[in-house]
């Protein structure tokens, strides 16, 4: 399959990892293929499909900030955002045999974004590899490092997705905390953000403008940034505000501590959290029938609540309302693993008697409608 014919995330997986079936996020030993040739231990400068695919699978099969996002292949580097609805002040009624009303249209803004590359490397010496299975060594240290660095790569990407808005992304992927922020509401520069420019994303300057402007999400904060006790009113208000803007949250992301607080809050009012069986998919979090597949998660207003250990916190973890119809991870290249060195027959590639490994993922978090997202912050 040529790269030009990648149209879906499934096409992209087949292109980079090999294999014939639509296996989703799973892999098998039969898929240890490059697009054109089997992987051999003697291949110099090896691209090892199985290790990259294992990490990509880990990122998408386990519930975390990354897995709940839909995945789309990178086909363009920009999109248009509606910044203002079409005006209806001119009316629309037409009298008999009268001329048609003046034309009207919504306001558009072109947004540009480039793919970002996240890479993690490791290296070890020939002597370290030789001694690792001698005496009381750890065994195959090269294999151990592959596995551990793969976990590190996946964990670091999840941390990027939940990084605090007051830390500009730079070369990291954008964060859900920034997507769900609002410069018109989060105005306390000493506590909400370090600078108003922290809200900026892609080619958009988000600071400035009237309340409920197109560039802001729906946010509940304390004006003084003093942490507050969670209430059902906070939870319901964000739902109402997002619905009013035209969004419809598909998933709620928060930390384990806040999930427990929601459960205790409902129990104190003799209400109980309903549950749903869901699974990560290419299109985001989806409900699944039956009793064998998926994960059982709590819900609020019928929306699945997914806990993650890395969610940004004030007193307790923040709550993100995510409408994944307008929020996804645009994938340029899924996770790949490369290795070079003495063990793969090419010490000249790294100019020493050792081994180096590299995990790499390329893409970016995209949001085409900030008003469909929301967050609750400053929780005690």
The β-bridge relationship of strands 295-300 and 303-307 is antiparallel
Mean local confidence (pLDDT), 201-218: 73
Rounded to an integer, what is the distance from CA 210 to the centroid of its chain? Answer: 28
- Contact yes or no for 44/349 (Cβ under 8 A): yes
The arithmetic mean of pLDDT across residues 183-187, rounded, is: 80
Integer Cα distance of 357 and 124 in angstroms: 9
Tokens of 110: 């072109």
Instruction: Provide the pLDDT for residue 84.
Output: 72
Total residue count of the chain as it appears in this document: 380
Q: What is the pLDDT of residues 65-93, one digit of tens each?
A: 888 899 889 988 887 777 777 776 556 78
Question: Predicted confidence band at 175 (pLDDT cuts at 50, 70, 90)?
Answer: very high
Q: Is the dihedral of CA 21, 59, 321, 369 positive or negative?
A: negative
Alpha-carbon span 357 to 155, nearest angstrom: 17
CA angle, 300 then 304 then 308, to 5°: 110
Taking the C-alpha atoms of residue 152 and residue 120, their distance in angstroms, rounded to an integer, is 8
And the tokens for 359?
A: 């995990």
Query: Which residues have a Cβ under 8 Å from the Cβ of 37 and sit 6 or more positions away?
Result: none
pLDDT at 63 over 90: no
222 vs 203, residue with greater confidence: 222
Distances (CA, A) of 261 to 20, 67, 119, 264, 276: 45, 24, 36, 5, 19
pLDDT at 316 over 60: yes
**Region 108-117: what's the mean pLDDT?**
86
123-147 confidence digits (pLDDT tens): 888 888 888 777 666 778 888 888 8
Q: pLDDT tens for residues 259-294?
A: 999 999 888 877 777 888 777 676 677 666 655 566
* pLDDT given for residue 209 in this prediction: 52
Q: Determine which of 188-197, 316-325, 339-348, 357-366 has the lowest per-residue pLDDT on average.
A: 188-197
- Dihedral (CA of 94, 98, 103, 104) sign: negative
pLDDT at 34: 35
């Amino acid at each position: 399959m040529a790269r030009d014919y990648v149209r879906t995330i499934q096409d992209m997986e087949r292109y980079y990892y090999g294999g014939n079936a639509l296996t989703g996020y799973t892999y098998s030993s039969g898929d240890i293929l490059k697009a054109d040739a089997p992987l051999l231990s003697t291949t110099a400068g090896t691209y090892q499909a199985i290790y990259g695919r294992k990490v990509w699978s880990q990122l998408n099969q386990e519930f975390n900030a990354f897995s709940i996002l839909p995945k789309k292949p990178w086909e363009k580097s920009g999109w248009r955002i509606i910044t203002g609805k079409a005006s209806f002040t001119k009316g629309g009624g037409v009298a008999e045999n009268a001329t048609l009303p003046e034309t009207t249209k919504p306001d558009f803004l072109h947004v540009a974004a480039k793919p970002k590359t996240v890479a993690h490397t490791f290296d070890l010496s020939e002597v370290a590899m030789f001694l690792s299975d001698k005496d009381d060594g750890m065994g195959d240290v090269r294999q151990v490092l592959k596995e551990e660095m793969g976990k590190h790569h996946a964990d670091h990407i999840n941390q990027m997705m939940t990084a605090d808005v007051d830390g500009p992304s730079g070369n990291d992927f954008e964060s859900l905390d920034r997507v769900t922020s609002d410069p018109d509401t989060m105005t306390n520069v000493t506590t909400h953000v370090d600078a108003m420019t922290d809200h900026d994303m892609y080619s958009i300057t988000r600071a400035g403008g009237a309340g409920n402007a197109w560039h802001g999400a729906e946010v509940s904060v304390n004006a003084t940034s003093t942490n507050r006790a969670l209430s059902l009113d906070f939870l319901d208000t964000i739902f109402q505000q997002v619905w009013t803007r035209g969004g419809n949250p598909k998933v709620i992301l928060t930390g384990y501590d806040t999930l427990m607080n929601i459960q205790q809050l409902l129990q104190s009012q003799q209400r109980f959290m309903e549950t749903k069986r869901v699974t990560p998919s290419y299109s985001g979090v989806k409900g699944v029938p039956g009793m064998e597949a998926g994960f059982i998660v709590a819900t609020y207003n019928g929306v699945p609540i997914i806990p993650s250990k890395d969610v940004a916190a004030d007193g307790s973890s923040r709550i993100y309302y995510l409408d994944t119809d307008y929020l996804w991870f645009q994938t340029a290249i899924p996770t790949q693993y490369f290795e070079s060195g003495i063990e793969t027959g090419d010490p000249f590639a790294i100019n020493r008697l050792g081994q180096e490994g590299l995990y790499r993922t390329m893409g970016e978090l995209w949001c085409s409608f900030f008003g469909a997202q929301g967050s609750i912050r400053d929780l005690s």
